[in-house]
Chains A and B, each alone.
Chain A
């Protein structure tokens, strides 16, 4: 089925000449699953009602205390200052956005009356604006009503450079205007296909104007309410100890009937991931544990105790190996890995091809990550509609050897291949993390068998994942030949995230290594495709462009995607916790209930 056929079908559904059921049937016949087909419809302009919630606990309160275990505890509770997932999660207990992202990458209305669409007039046809209707009768925990003024205030607050809000990326390029007390209009400079950024998901939580208005800009850090949140969420603030504990009690006037079902919530922090999993799966001391980056064999053994189970929520996170296109061992104008140099061996395609063949993705997946990851050939792994079908991977040491032989890389006296005095000997770095060190060991062994020497290097995560300009061990410096880490889009749209292969984003001394293109791979075709996708409002065309955006660096082997990592959490058997890989773990806290 090509783009034109697809479009005709969608058009017929819109005009009512084809039923949704029949549409799904036709799509299934050509290999689309129902959720995928639903997405095609959604981006084609048909709004989809959120799936009815299947739960039995039909009344507010009565389920007792919900005990959550985050092995890194929130350190602050203002969503605009949240430095990491932990802070976003902690804030989300009290604050809410206009809409959440579902597991399928669809919008679910929270504080919005409805999700904007072409039909209800919320979306402008030219892609230059979106109009949100705010749910009426919503109040903050202190009784003040939520109005359009609050939304306008959040925009002004977040975009003000003096506030230095972490969420500013979602707000600086838009304009927000009040239409009436319960309607706001978000406008863009240029056609914006991905319009659901401001006021949506983790960056969209809305803080009350009446409590924050005196603390905007430079005074923002002095607001007492930073530490005592007052939001619209299902739980009211009770106590906060940074790095240890967040306590909330039920919001009896919550704006959704019969929700939330728990009477109070406790978010305890600290410790490590394995013992967090133990407290849920093995002893049942806690109901839910977050972000279990642990070997699956450990999780499986703990699950055998029968107190709880592991829940997986796919997002878009990709563990991948990056290839340095510049020479990390030569210093030019005070920087190594300068774009004025070329990597002595990795600049050649056959060497990169051989490396890709030496990564045992299935082995790493099966024996280390287990259920918590899937071996992948793609960098973009979600949402499904953007996942390329054009790439495959294989693990074949002999084939790698053959490719290197053919290209003239012959084993030297020490068994290491070389050509013209250039040895295939690489430093391979990553952060310190037991899963990654095992992954490194597996890669190293396969490379050794093929005559490529690998020196493993591991850097403390707090140094590796920092932007310290002076430290050569951070990942943006990339002063080694290969490196590995996980990254992913924070929204169900890969556009922003794929900036990391743009030529203008190359990380180097002149931009204090703040650029996002770490491999220093550069392609005019990629730049043009990415730019075209950013303003293409035709969903079909844009999907095709974004798939190409994935394929270009993958097929040129600038990166070797290894694993599609799923969010792994543990939940007690008697807890129904609906999660989404595209939103905070706490996004649906209002629906959680006992079974």
Chain B
């Protein structure tokens, strides 16, 4: 079978640390394996459960030798729409609750997928601004399978396609391109956040109100085009027939630094016996900003805080406020002499409120070894937001409810933990 052959190829060509998450040892299995952390295995099983692993990622080995830290990786299977044979399983996909939509590096894609076409006949190419750069590439359509879930005819972005190598300057004006595995640190990004579309209504209008994320690129050159909501790159979860209202990220607790840990990504909230809210507290978020509120040291950061598996540390405040210096060799991380313990309070727009304790350790010490893929206590400064990155998720079960989707605790968007 072609899938099995491709999977085997991928497994052989990826680093050994990645093997566990590409499903190499048990192709087709949808159950997650036990956690390896001292925090105990809290992994789940079921047709709505995908295995995730926090590890050094697909760039760890030669030739890049550039290990990722605090990234949660999974694998997805893509097929040409309607096909069961023209398929490929791709591992090393970064799970991101800070964005919606599936983006795959062109270099990781071996099957051919149909190209979306604009009303003027030109191929649709997207310029998507992330916080630390942009991704540029054509919008194509695939059937995506993860665990026992399938999103059919899913618009995805293929990043770094050689067919569209000329990036318009209006796109690079939004940030530097992340168009290869070295920049991305992953074979792709699986955006499973609170949003349904990556752009939303703004991209459906023409004129100056359009932010210019979607382009039509006929041979004559690229021009910004309007893009309907249904054509935009969309959170794959909303296209699942069931379990389509959100996602749960479950990771074991971590002490200090480790090579890797295993966890689960469970689809749906309150749709199965394994994804109920239990005693989790629901924190609704401001639908326009996608943020809630964090109170730290008696200062309220109103609608300026968010949970994001796609950020690889807890990024908050600055050296003046926290009393921690940044590292001499990395101004984006804190390097306190001894580990600092902090407390904060998160508040939802629904009035829910709960305390959080967290610690920040010396990043240089945590990351002394290149084999470290997991680091609790990794923290850094941030300009104006409270970015609860992946370390927040360690030892927690965190629910992300999608905007407009019904759940037993009401309509999304919200977070619960």
A-B complex is real: no
